[in-house]
Amino acid sequence: MRYISTRGAAPSLGFDEVLLTGLASDGGLYLPQSWPQFDAETLRDLRDLPYAELAIRIMSPFVKGSSFEKEFPDLVRAAYAGFNHPAVTPLVQLDSHLWLLELFHGPTFAFKDVALQLLGRLLNSALQTRKERATVIGATSGDTGSAAIEACRDRDSLDVFILYPHGRVSDVQRRQMTTVASANIHVLAIDGTFDDCQDLVKALFNDEEFRRMAQPTAVNSINWARIMAQIVYYFAAALALGAPDKPVSFSVPTGNFGNVFAAYAARRMGLPIERLIIGSNSNDVLPRFFEHGTLSATEVVPTLSPSMDIQVSSNFERFLFDLWEQNGTALADAMTEFKRGQRLSVAANAAALARNQFLAFGFNDQQTVEQIRKWYKNTGILLDPHSAIAVAAATKAQTKTPCIALATAHPAKFPAAIKQAIDFTPSLPHGLAEIMTKPERFTRLAGQLDIVRAHILKHLSQPVDKKRMAV
């Protein structure tokens, strides 16, 4: 499989290069040149496979011709063996027509694990084949950092440096990062805000000399391999509810548009999906786009669903590529214009096409809390604020088919929102409770580029000594 950039000017690449590159050299995002197709008969054959075996079948066309062809099945099996539910992404029935797809059974109790557990293994393997090392560097406002750490810990070819704003993440979020006792993991508490951390990371990636010495790589949501891994659970859930003979709909709590783009990809690959529903919080850029045909970003408003506090969804460009009829040059012009004015309008026919593909609804914090309260009262099931928005959007869409709402985090990760809704805090699941007493390990640094840069270069390891790692 070859991959092309949404902006048309970067060279097409194979899977290995796309995995290691992230952003294309023309500023675009990589997409497969064509979508693998699964017809109804093939889908029926896939119905009873365990999750990992289904994942291998769905993803194989994407890695065809790469250095992974042979070991890919083992990497996939290893990635999902660590999930704490045998179905990996189990379905739970909420109402006669409404289902919950629980994506939080990975090591950090949030859906980022589903993609990152595989991505960490793929990266490490690609680097080993090339006899190279890389440094994963990321800024986190809470959840992505721990998922990246769990995905990359103890992998010989990777050093990991995660920057978070000191004093501005929750106790659980901090401990999920600082209690990982692996020699290749470095957690940096930066004096500053999340934006400061992100600026530091950007500056490091733009520093030629640093790039040469550290080979920085990002595991953020624009990496194609993350989308690829997320396509699988749409197939798994739809097959479990009778696809391809019965179509289903999905409702996805959306931030960077990675998760819902994976659903769109599944549909392009032949999975019969009736409605694709986007749930947003008060940062409702996407619902406004689907209503008016204009993308217009404003200031980010902090909400109870912080992983969706995003105004410019980085993966949206992958969908715009289709709306621009795959004309990368024209899309590049449009994206440049958007960057300048934070505004982008599409023609009326394109807006109608977009509305054909997605429904989108926004919900504020009060509505989110009401949803959590309502479903707890009616079913005893506790939704985290992100999942509550997916359920609210599913209800509002009134689909004719069964609707599957994606539950992207365990409720215990958001105790403050739950307390607002039902006046008590959920108990921590096994695995989160135990980190509350483990020793923490992190380095506090001033938010200055030269200090952070020097710290990282000083702590880069040579290939990690296995005995030293067994802490």
Q: CB 226 → ligand PLP: shortest distance, Å?
A: 8
Cα 344 from Cα 76, distance rounded (Å): 39
Q: Which of these segments, 85-93, 104-112, 133-141, 237-245, binds ligand PLP (CB under 6 A)?
A: 104-112
Q: CB 102 → ligand PLP: shortest distance, Å?
A: 12
Among 143, 154, 159, 284, binds ligand PLP (CB under 6 A): 143
Question: Would you call 112 a catalytic residue per the annotation?
Answer: yes
Binding mask 214-253 for ligand PLP (x = CB under 6 A): -------x-------------------------------x
The active-site residue, picked from 70, 112, 396, 458, is 112
Nearer to ligand PLP, 133 or 226 (CB): 226
Q: CB 405 → ligand PLP: shortest distance, Å?
A: 12
Interaction residues for ligand PLP, span 292-311 (CB under 6 A): 307-308
Nearer to ligand PLP, 143 or 317 (CB): 143
Residue 371 binds ligand PLP (CB under 6 A) = no
Nearer to ligand PLP, 58 or 310 (CB): 310
Residue 255 binds ligand PLP (CB under 6 A) = yes
Among 32, 165, 258, 279, binds ligand PLP (CB under 6 A): 258
Q: Which of these segments, 84-92, 255-263, 334-342, 358-366, binds ligand PLP (CB under 6 A)?
A: 255-263
Residue 105 binds ligand PLP (CB under 6 A) = no
Identity of the amino acid at 21: T
Q: Which of these segments, 94-102, 257-265, 318-326, 442-450, binds ligand PLP (CB under 6 A)?
A: 257-265
Residue 112 binds ligand PLP (CB under 6 A) = yes
Residues 46, 235: contact at Cβ < 8 Å?
yes
Q: How many CB atoms lie within 10 A of CB 24?
A: 24
Residue 66 binds ligand PLP (CB under 6 A) = no
Residue 319 binds ligand PLP (CB under 6 A) = no
Residue 256 binds ligand PLP (CB under 6 A) = yes
Query: CA–CA distance from 156 to each of 178, 294, 470 (Å)?
Result: 20, 46, 13
Nearest to 82 by CA among 125, 134, 117, 55: 117
Among 31, 114, 392, 409, binds ligand PLP (CB under 6 A): 409
Residues 271, 244: contact at Cβ < 8 Å?
yes
Q: CB 131 → ligand PLP: shortest distance, Å?
A: 33
Nearer to ligand PLP, 392 or 464 (CB): 392
Residue 174 binds ligand PLP (CB under 6 A) = no
Nearer to ligand PLP, 118 or 456 (CB): 118
Residue 176 binds ligand PLP (CB under 6 A) = no
Q: CB 135 → ligand PLP: shortest distance, Å?
A: 23
Nearer to ligand PLP, 419 or 466 (CB): 419
Which amino acids are annotated catalytic?
A: 112
Rule CB under 6 A: which residues touch ligand PLP? 110-112, 143, 221, 253-259, 307-308, 386, 408-409
